[in-house]
Amino acid sequence: MTTTTTTTTTTDDSRPLPSWRDTGARRAVLEFVDRAAAEVPVEERVAVFDNDGTLWCEKPLPIQLDFILRRFVAMAEADPALRARQPWKAAYERDHGWLGKLLEEHYAGDDSNVRVLAGGVLAAYDGISVEDFEARSDEFLRNVEHPTLGRGYLQCGYAPMIELLDHLAANGFANYIASGGGRDFMRPVSQDMYGIPRERVIGSTVALAYHDDATGGTILHKAEADYLDDGPEKPVRIWSRVGRRPLLAAGNSNGDIPMLHFTQHRDRPFLRLLLLHDDEDREFAYTAGAERALDEADRHGWTVVSVRNDWSTVF
């Protein structure tokens, strides 16, 4: 595992990655970008990033989960029978303990309650058009405030990671999001938040169906899962969308391990970043759901980025 120590707390906006302290993590990033720009044709410079906990804050609960829970509450208010069924029960009673346990179980390999949640999600948006869903997502992300940080969700992106995206783009990289979160949930704001165009957002999705009509046709959500872009599915979806093995991948959890492994080349520079949330004062401190990833980082020499030690600014 790459370890770092704090050597400075000042921020110089004239240098690359101004919110990164001058530690081993920052040097590893800059050295990689310099090598890639010198050695790799521009069309082969691809970087992929997980979103939840890597590009934006995922605690005390993932942002999209907050969006979904509000929909569950509205459904339970309209139909009292739902209040006795999960996941509507947990949402209606604000039982975040059930939800937190669900996420921990998922990262430990038990998806029994994840399937319960997924069933509710499928029912919640059955029949809605893709345009209507994106409009709801866009309004939520631009107008709802994070429950503890005192800032809007659109301001919950990590400044150092956004600087990294900008630095990569300035050096000819095509940046992609490869997230377990909903593709169509992230698309409305990916350009504004990260400078990543919507067509470069890879994420989970439900099945969709086209219906012909007098307005040019409508694409509707179906109450069927298509795929969950997590774990082994991430490299598959990256290849399906991009057609290249990335040079850089960044994640923060066990679900990102296959994507990070996939970012390995025999004849090209490559970099694998694992974000470590260890700053309870400025953000959150947690390793649940990242234990195996941290072990892999130690064994394979991934660059571990400490929020506490490597970033002078978080948001």
The model's pLDDT over 122-171, given as tens digits with 9 standing for 90+, comes to 999 999 999 999 999 999 999 999 999 999 999 999 999 999 999 999 99
Domain match, 34 and 74 both: no
91 plus 224 within the same structural domain: no
| Residues 204 and 289 placed together within one structural domain of the fold | yes
pLDDT in tens, 179-224: 999 999 999 999 999 999 999 999 999 999 999 999 899 999 999 9
Residue 34 lies in a domain: yes
pLDDT band at residue 1 under the 50/70/90 scheme: very low
- Tell me whether residue 38 is in a domain: yes
Verify that 184 and 289 share a domain, yes or no.
Answer: yes
CA angle 246/168/305 to nearest 5° reads 80
Task: List the domain range (segments joined by +) for residue 79.
Answer: 63-124
In a domain, 37, yes or no: yes
Let me know if 250 is exposed, middle or buried by CB neighbors in 10 A (0-12, 13-18, 19+): buried
pTM assigned to the model: 0.91
Give the domain CATH number at 202.
3.40.50.1000
17 domain residue, yes or no: no
Question: Is the peptide bond preceding residue 87 cis, with omega within 30 degrees of 0?
Answer: yes
Domain-embedded: residue 225:
yes
pLDDT, residue 8, reads 38
CA distance 4 to 24: 6
pLDDT band at 245 (very low <50, low <70, confident <90, very high): very high
- Alpha-helical (H) ranges within the chain are 24-39, 63-78, 88-92, 96-107, 112-124, 130-143, 159-170, 183-194, 233-242, 257-262, 291-300, 307-310
| Residue 6, number of CB atoms within 10 A of its CB | 14
The answer for residues whose C-beta is within 8 angstroms of residue 286's C-beta and 6 or more apart is 59, 277
The count of domains in the chain is 2
173 and 195 co-located in one domain: yes
In a shared domain, residues 246 and 175: yes
Q: Is 133 a domain residue?
A: no
**Do residues 45 and 183 share a domain?**
yes
Residue at 312: amino acid letter: S
Tell me if 295 is assigned to some domain: yes
Q: Report the alpha-carbon distance of residue 87 to residue 227 in Å, rounded.
A: 20
Q: What percent of the chain has pLDDT over 90?
A: 84
User: Domain for residue 36, yes or no?
Assistant: yes
Nearest in space to 125 (alpha carbons), one of 198, 180, 52, 206: 206
